[in-house]
């Protein structure tokens, strides 16, 4: 029998689950809702959550951790990140801050650096960023290719990503690389044919940057339909730099997520609200490009499901910090603190069609964050402050520390 750990004296336990410890509905439409228990406890058994409820009713366990009034949240679920690349583009960022506009073409600089890098260099960069994610409370992350753009380079990017996550996304259709500038249709043939065949074994998802300067609706549909035929599920970079067909295409194809959603028509909002496609908002990109933030309130009020993700990439959003994205969403996107935390946990899980993460109730994966703060509100109230005290992934604490006591297990009321 797996050993059990009781974490008690939790100031606020964010569960995202119905009262009484039930499992949330997973219909993948609508925002199921933030939920929290004050003065709470939680029991982990092996890799799973075994019990949640008021601290006064906690059952005994093999080991005990005193949370000393701290808040405990589900581990963040980052459903949109580009982590396999070489080099960086701080000069481009500085130029933008000096007034230059963002254009999709900057991606090609990272493509050149990525092609020139060794596998070991790419792996080292990926591990560095994955470590940053984990230290900031992200226990599940998606990772896209998209900076290789040859069969060999895209294949090694997805293979490297698959070393660290099950949520690997094929993004051969990120931009048309320079060598295909005169033959964009030829590149679409490559991406929806031999490149897809080579990458598919490592991937769960396929994505297309559907935008002026990248791929139009017809090319995006061709790539995503081919990917669906090979068992990959679609997601779309949509409506980031201006209005366009990306959101409508995502809904048409039953995509798990339409990402960015910065420039939406009323019809786009209505389509998202009446579909199972999650609107994934990436405020790090607007922060770094000085674009207007997406209107989360409009989407939420219409009934769409909203996720928050980092979009970590060297061009438009070089952050791995979900707390930073939560703070931006609360301050600048008209989300409540509860909505932002739900979107960064359960919302991300829905964007990845996952039913085992993003909430804390019996049966959930024991992925959780302990904050050096009494409530989730502090994530937005104390922006830029490293509030993550401890992170558990599949029931294991990262990094290991010494404040767990074995034996002398407290029963109900022991830690009042
Ligand atoms: O999500 N939009 C397309 N891809 C990235 C930007 C990539 C880059 O500029 O390197 C994004 O913002
Ligand atoms: Fe992106």
Residue 402 has what pLDDT? 53
Whether omega for the bond prior to residue 198 falls within 30 degrees of 0, making it cis, is: no
Q: Tell me the pairing of strands 167-173 and 138-144.
A: parallel
Nearest atom (ligand 1) to Cα of 89: 10
Task: Quote the ligand 1 centre to 322 CA distance (angstroms).
Answer: 17
Nearest CA to ligand 1 atom 3: 209
Nearest ligand to residue 262 Cα:
1
Q: Where are the alpha helices (DSSP H) in 142-244?
A: 151-162, 184-191, 194-199, 217-229
Q: Give helix 151-162 / helix 107-116 axis angle, nearest 10°.
A: 80
Nearest atom (ligand 1) to Cα of 107: 10
Nearest CA to ligand 1 atom 9: 315
Of 171, 311, 312, 317, the residue with max ligand 1 atoms within 8 A of its CB, to mutate for a pocket test, comes to: 311
In this structure, what are the phi and psi dihedrals at residue 185, rounded to the nearest 5 degrees?
A: -65, -35
Task: Quote the ligand 2 centre to 72 CA distance (angstroms).
Answer: 29
Nearest ligand to residue 214 Cα:
1
Nearest atom (ligand 1) to Cα of 285: 12
Residue 32 has what pLDDT? 58
Of 86, 103, 107, the residue with max ligand 1 atoms within 8 A of its CB, to mutate for a pocket test, comes to: 107
Residue 412 has what pLDDT? 37
Q: If DSSP codes are grouped into helix, strand and coil, which group holds residue 219?
A: helix
Q: Tell me the pairing of strands 306-308 and 368-371.
A: unpaired
Of 78, 79, 82, 293, the residue with max ligand 1 atoms within 8 A of its CB, to mutate for a pocket test, comes to: 82
Encoding tokens for residue 53? Answer: 């409820």
Task: Quote the ligand 1 centre to 356 CA distance (angstroms).
Answer: 29
Residue 409 has what pLDDT? 39
Nearest atom (ligand 1) to Cα of 240: 2
Of 353, 371, 388, 400, which is closest to residue 77 (Cα–Cα)? 353
CA dihedral 67, 72, 75, 78 (to 10 degrees): -130
Quick: pLDDT tens for 200-228.
999 999 999 999 999 999 999 999 999 99
Nearest atom (ligand 1) to Cα of 211: 2
Task: Quote the ligand 1 centre to 90 CA distance (angstroms).
Answer: 14
Sites in the chain below the pLDDT cut of 50: 401, 407-416
Nearest CA to ligand 1 atom 12: 316
CA distances from 168 to 17, 32, 382 (A): 27, 26, 32
Of 313, 318, 319, the residue with max ligand 1 atoms within 8 A of its CB, to mutate for a pocket test, comes to: 313
Pocket of ligand 1, beta carbon within 6 A: 106-107, 110, 209, 237, 240, 285, 311, 313-316
Of 91, 104, 148, the residue with max ligand 1 atoms within 8 A of its CB, to mutate for a pocket test, comes to: 104
Which pTM does this prediction carry?
Answer: 0.95
Task: Quote the ligand 2 centre to 60 CA distance (angstroms).
Answer: 45
Nearest ligand to residue 246 Cα:
1
CA-angle at 67, arms to 63 and 71, nearest 5°: 135
């Amino acid at each position: 029998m797996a050993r059990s750990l009781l974490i008690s004296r939790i100031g606020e336990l964010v569960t995202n689950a119905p009262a009484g410890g039930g499992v949330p509905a997973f219909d993948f439409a609508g925002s199921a809702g933030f939920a929290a228990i004050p003065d709470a406890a939680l029991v982990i058994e092996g890799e799973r959550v075994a019990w949640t409820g008021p601290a006064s009713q906690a059952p005994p366990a093999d080991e005990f951790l005193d949370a000393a009034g701290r808040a405990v949240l589900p581990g963040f679920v980052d459903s949109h990140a580009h982590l396999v690349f070489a080099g960086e583009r701080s000069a481009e960022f500085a130029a933008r801050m000096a007034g230059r506009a963002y254009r999709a073409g900057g991606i090609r600089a990272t493509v050149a650096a990525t092609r020139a890098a060794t596998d070991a260099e790419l792996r080292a960069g990926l591990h560095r960023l994955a470590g940053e994610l984990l230290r900031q409370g992200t226990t599940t992350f998606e990772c896209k290719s998209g900076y290789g753009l040859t069969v060999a380079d895209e294949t090694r990017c997805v293979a490297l990503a698959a070393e660290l996550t099950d949520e690997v996304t094929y993004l051969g259709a990120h931009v048309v690389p320079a060598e295909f500038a005169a033959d964009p249709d030829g590149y679409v043939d490559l991406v929806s044919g031999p490149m897809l065949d080579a990458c598919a074994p490592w991937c769960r998802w396929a994505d297309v940057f559907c935008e002026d300067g990248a791929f139009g609706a017809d090319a995006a549909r061709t790539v995503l339909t081919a990917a669906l035929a090979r068992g990959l599920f679609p997601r779309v970079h949509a409506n980031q730099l201006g209005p366009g067909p990306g959101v409508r295409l995502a809904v048409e194809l039953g995509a798990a997520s339409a990402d960015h959603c910065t420039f939406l028509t009323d019809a786009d909002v209505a389509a998202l609200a009446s579909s199972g496609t999650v609107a994934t908002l990436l405020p790090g990109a607007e922060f770094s490009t000085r674009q207007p933030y997406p209107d989360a309130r409009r989407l939420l009020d219409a009934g769409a499901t909203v996720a928050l993700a980092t979009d970590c990439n060297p061009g438009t959003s070089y952050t791995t910090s979900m707390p930073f994205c939560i703070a931006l969403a609360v301050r600048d996107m008209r989300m409540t603190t509860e909505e932002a935390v739900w979107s960064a946990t359960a919302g991300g899980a829905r964007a990845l069609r996952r039913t085992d993460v993003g909430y804390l109730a019996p049966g959930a994966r024991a992925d959780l964050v302990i904050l050096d703060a009494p409530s989730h509100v502090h994530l937005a109230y104390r922006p830029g402050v490293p509030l993550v005290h401890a992170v558990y992934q599949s029931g294991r604490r990262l990094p290991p520390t010494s404040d767990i006591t074995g034996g002398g297990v407290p029963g109900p009321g022991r830690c009042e």
